Amino acid sequence: MQQAIRLLLPILGCLALLVAACSPPTAPEPTPMPPPEATPAPQPAVTPEPGVPPAEVPTPEPDPATEAERLAEPAGPVRDTLILSMGQDPDTLHPAIGLMLARAEVLFAVFTYPIVNDHRGEWMAVGVEEVPTIENGGARWVGEGDNRHLEVTFTVREGVVWHDGTPTTSADIQYAWELVMDPDFPATARTQPLKVFAIETPDDRTAVVRYMSASQAREAAENGHMGLEPEFWMEFQDQQEPLTDPEYFLPPLLSQGLWLPEHVLSDIPPDEHEGSEWARAPLGNGPYRFVQWIPDEAIRLQAVDDYFLGGPYTRNIVFRIIPDASAQLAALHAGEIDVATQVQGPNVGISPELDRLDGYEPHYIPGTAWEHIDLNLEDPILEDQDVRKALVMAMDREQIVEQLLYGNSRVAHSWVQPSIPALSWAYDEDCLVTYQHDPAGVQRLLEQTGYTRDGNGLFQRDGQPLRLRLVTTDAPLRQNVAQVLQQQLRQVGIDLELDFLPGPAFFGREGPVLRGQFQLGMYTWISTPDPDATSLYHSRSIPTAENNWVGQNFPRYANPQVDELLARGANELEIDRRQPIYCEAQQLWTDELPVIPLFQNPIVMVARDTLENFRPTPTLTPETWNIWAWFIED
């Protein structure tokens, strides 16, 4: 008997350990370290191409009067601590390393950003005096012909001070850019920074960013620049136009352009930043100073005295890390946290729960993120436009929004979303071909292209059933949406098979959408509030084996007319010139339907209903952008 136990116990023990190790926690789906599922953060970027007419730069909306919507001010004593919950621990607090949305919330409290995107989706100057544009002279063209280039001037606002008392200067902008351009620094996205030739600092408060002229771009493609290899400038080998960027009005650093304290960081060699203590305990210049980071548990911040914008009214901010969605919900119910951010990513499936919370208000912000299905136009079945239209008509997208999103969103019809004020000029229903759920229409279209129903009610042609495969990630909401779509299609007679992949496998370098090994691919795009779609739907952006799989045009959409429109739209200056361009482009696109737009992904946040000045944004700017003004009256 004892022998039996001796043999059995280790086996049972190992089995138990295996089971324990293998059973996944029902956690917020495993977020590939950075972008949480909902928001694989792709932002359409313009790649200037040779042969395009004069590269004029797209202008952002002019600065809104920031006083237009006054922030409330406390009338009496306020609570001294606010607790926010996050779904995961940031990988680092160094602003220039990695790409992580969880980090942005903390960074916006610790740093003052030069320019932010506010709750209307408008660009607003905070750390600098104004958003430099062509109109206000902040950005201007200099030089002629091959030497013509863009110069953007940033003026640091008075009163922006690092937490050790040193004022923030233009040297900090220059340093941040030079750091990112250093070959030994593990930067992850140099797309905008590498278009800059140099940054000059004529005085302490002025930084002049000089973008590359055509000749400088060609030179860099030949010999590199600032020590980086020429391969970075590969696409500019034959550049004829000066280099520009759709976000030229932001300092050229990722994370919406941020400066770094030169007086502290220049002592650290670029390759040692990643593991440095500073990356775990940054010196900022924002309304809150860093106090402590208990790994995987909490990050604590404390208010500075006298922030130049006023406040901060709340003394302490704590970010608590609660990875499990149910535990986060329980914490809300128990009143332990004041703001729940990233509430289970895009899974508005718990909306009824959120609506029931006492003392809290859920915020569903229709963002720039939109869920969609890419249709692989190189697939023999899908290259037929009628089949694509039949597909969208077979789907009941309204039902999905009602049932799975509890009505907290709306069906999307284009890559431009309607509800962002800063983008409203680019969205017009008259410019779109929209589709309704129409089973009769499906029948008509499919019969037109030679499909007939077989004995089981499924469509088939030449003995081959109409069977398609949808690939997507294993995020809970996506699984639900996919299964509903499968049902809807089956009812109409189309057989849809489903494939769920973990996030990294779906988006990775061997992933199905990148490699074109898919028929239907469902995921989310996020964009900045600009309708530019060159990197998504221009034929130059198709990833192929020849170009080493670079590009985001996964449907492999190639329409010369649309190509020309998108390129023009990206380079036009004024809204009234861009508007008809995008109208026509969207008309063609929605008619050809390389992509089936599904719905806008609402950003879901929960905050105490007594929290003042809570203004989440529809873009990648986190809700903490105005955290200096947050308070709860006691």
How many residues of this chain bind other proteins (CB under 8 A)? 91
Closest CB 94 distance from other proteins, rounded Å: 8
In the complex with other proteins, the residue whose CB is nearer, 493 or 503, is 503
Return d(Cα 293, Cα 89) in angstroms, integer.
Answer: 10
Answer yes or no whether residue 129 interacts with other proteins by CB under 8 A.
no
Closest approach of other proteins to the CB of residue 631, in Å: 18
Are the C-beta atoms of 185 and 270 separated by less than 8 Å?
yes
**Structure tokens that stand for 546 in this block:** 């020849």
17 vs 72, which CB is nearer to other proteins?
Answer: 17
Nearest distance from residue 295's CB to other proteins, in Å? Answer: 5
What are the backbone dihedrals phi and psi of residue 614, each rounded to the nearest 5 degrees, phi first?
A: -80, 110
CB of 268 to other proteins, least distance (A): 12
HSE of 476, CA atoms in CB hemisphere, 13 A:
15
Please, what is the minimum distance in Å from the beta carbon of residue 441 to other proteins?
A: 34
Which of residues 552 and 587 has its CB atom nearest to other proteins in the complex? 552
At 585 the three-state DSSP class reads: helix
Residues 183-212 binding other proteins (CB under 8 A) are 186-192
User: Is residue 315 close enough to count as binding other proteins by CB under 8 A?
Assistant: no
Tokens found for residue 365: 């912000």
**Beta-ladder partners of 228:** 225
Give CA separation, 227 vs 192, 223, 330, in Å: 17, 9, 52
Where residue 250 falls (left for φ over 0; alpha for ψ -120 to 50; beta otherwise) is beta
Strand partners, 375: 520
The DSSP bridge partners found for residue 500 are: 472
User: Any contact of residue 331 with other proteins (CB under 8 A)?
Assistant: yes
Q: Which of 15, 81, 159, 164 binds other proteins (CB under 8 A)?
A: 81
**C-beta of 327 vs 575, nearer to other proteins:** 327
Query: What's the min distance (Å) between Cβ of 119 and other proteins?
Result: 23
**Of 208, 309, 318, 598, the one binding other proteins by CB under 8 A:** 318
Gap between the Cα atoms of 533 and 536, Å rounded: 5
Could you say whether residue 314 binds other proteins (CB under 8 A)? no
User: To the nearest whole angstrom, how small is the minimum distance from the Cβ of residue 316 to other proteins?
Assistant: 8
Q: How many CB atoms lie within 10 A of CB 142?
A: 14
Chain positions 227 to 286 lying near other proteins, rule: CB under 8 A, are 231-232, 234, 254, 273-276, 279-280
Residues 370 to 429 in contact with other proteins, rule: CB under 8 A: none
| Residue 110 binds to other proteins (criterion: CB under 8 A) | no
By CB under 8 A, residue 30 contacts other proteins: yes
Binding to other proteins by residue 33, rule CB under 8 A?
yes
Task: Give the nearest distance from C-beta 97 to other proteins in angstroms.
Answer: 6
546 interacts with other proteins by CB under 8 A: no
The residue from 71, 142, 458, 550 that contacts other proteins (CB under 8 A) is 550
Query: Residue 299 corresponds to which tokens in the numbers above?
Result: 């990050």
Q: Give the interface segment with other proteins, choosing from 108-116, 454-462, 544-552, 606-614 (CB under 8 A).
A: 544-552
Nearest-angstrom CA–CA distance, 327 and 511: 32
Task: Enumerate residues 452-511 that contact other proteins by CB under 8 A.
Answer: 502-505, 507-511
Q: Verify binding: residue 627, other proteins, rule CB under 8 A.
A: no
Establish if 545 lies at the interface with other proteins (CB under 8 A).
no
Query: Quick one: which of 479, 404, 525, 520 has its CA closest to 39?
Result: 525
Give me 442's structure tokens: 């499906």
Query: What separation, in Å, do the N-terminal and C-terminal C-alpha atoms of the chain show?
Result: 67
DSSP 409-472: S-B--SSS-TT-GGGGGG--GGG-------HHHHHHHHHHTT-EE-TTS-EEETTEE-EEEEEE
Q: Does 552 bind other proteins (CB under 8 A)?
A: yes
Residue 78 CA, distance from chain mean position: 34
